[in-house]
Amino acid sequence: MMYSVMNSADLHPARIPGYDGGPLTYQGGLLDEPHFWLGHLCSCVQSEDAEELLFGADYDAAGDFQRRLWERAEWPTFTVPLAADHRLHVVYRTFTDDAGTDYLLHHPDWDRAELLARDDGHFMGPGLSWPELVAAADNALPGGSTTDPHARLLLLLPAFGDDEIPDDAIARLADALRARTSVEDPEPLATVLLEHQGAPGPARWTSAERGFCVNDGAYSFRNPANSFALSADRLDRVANALAP
């Protein structure tokens, strides 16, 4: 498969078309901070037991790290390049009264980015199936915030929801947790994360009449039954961009 070459300005734009806010600051160095991941994944735990598995003895330190992160005037932003010049952007929206993390998909030919998921007090999603998540994590395309598949998997995990995952999914997620975080028991945590799958819970993915991938999530932009869903043409282009 042939991929076109993207320069740094393409992968790290000063703005994302159709997306207001910022200033966006691309800070790949945050991905090397274990405490960053604890805060990033906190919305994926839905019980006290899961919270204990995630934070352990690092709860206070992780909380302090996240507080400083959300107090920044700039919006920390990360990019995962995809095939054919598409890219996923993960934006930390550090508004004082409307903080959250946005997951957007864009291509230079599109007039605006497509919002796939929002991780905040009014969660919207899921935006990614398991095959789409793994494909984005594993493509090894250069130029984004990281080429490390473990970091990419964890970065995109809060936007994921899928009620059909393969047998090796727990081991795959546990490997990522072991590589990028300081959690003591990656396998039990991975099991819990994949069982509950954050705020929206698992969604069922199917093919629409026109053949593109959609889900049945009550809060998903990729569920055509929702009044706020993307139009059929936009659902089609999103599915094609994310196709494994």
118, pLDDT greater than 50: yes
Overall domain count for the chain: 1
13, pLDDT greater than 70: no
Query: What digits encode the pLDDT tens for the residues 120-142?
Result: 988 999 999 999 999 999 999 99
29, pLDDT greater than 70: yes
Q: How far apart are CA 83 and CA 109, in angstroms?
A: 14
4, pLDDT greater than 60: no
5 lies in a domain? no
- Contact predicate 103/113, CB 8 Å: no
- The larger pLDDT score, comparing residue 28 to residue 162, is at 162
User: In sequence order, which ranges of 24-182 are alpha helices (DSSP H)?
Assistant: 34-40, 48-55, 59-70, 130-138, 149-156, 169-180
pLDDT of residue 117: 97
Give the domain range for residue 119. Answer: 12-242
pTM score, two decimals? Answer: 0.93
Q: Beta strands of the chain (E only): which ranges? A: 24-26, 75-81, 87-93, 100-106, 114-119, 205-207, 213-215
213 lies in a domain? yes
Element (H, E) at 48: helix 48-55
Task: pLDDT band for 3, please (50, 70, 90 cuts).
Answer: very low
- Contact predicate 159/242, CB 8 Å: no
69 lies in a domain? yes
209 lies in a domain? yes
3 lies in a domain? no
Mean pLDDT of 30-37: 94
Query: What digits encode the pLDDT tens for the residues 101-111?
Result: 999 999 999 99
Question: Which residues are bridge partners to 128 per DSSP?
Answer: 160
CA 74 to chain centre: 19
7, pLDDT greater than 60: no
pLDDT of residue 11: 57
Q: Kind of pairing, strands 100-106 and 114-119?
A: antiparallel
52 lies in a domain? yes
Mean of pLDDT over the chain: 90
- The larger pLDDT score, comparing residue 3 to residue 147, is at 147
Tokens representing 89 are: 């952007």
| Structure letter (DSSP) for residue 83 | G
Mean pLDDT of 168-183: 96
1 lies in a domain? no
pLDDT of residue 121: 83
Tokens representing 163 are: 């009620």
98 lies in a domain? yes
Residue 125's CB: how many other CB atoms inside 10 A?
26
ω into residue 76 within 30 of 0, thus cis? no
Sign of CA dihedral 150, 151, 153, 154: positive
Query: What digits encode the pLDDT tens for the residues 206-225?
Result: 998 788 999 999 999 999 99
The candidate with the shortest Cα–Cα distance to 157, out of 145, 174, 144, 140, is: 174
CA 234 to chain centre: 19
6, pLDDT greater than 60: no
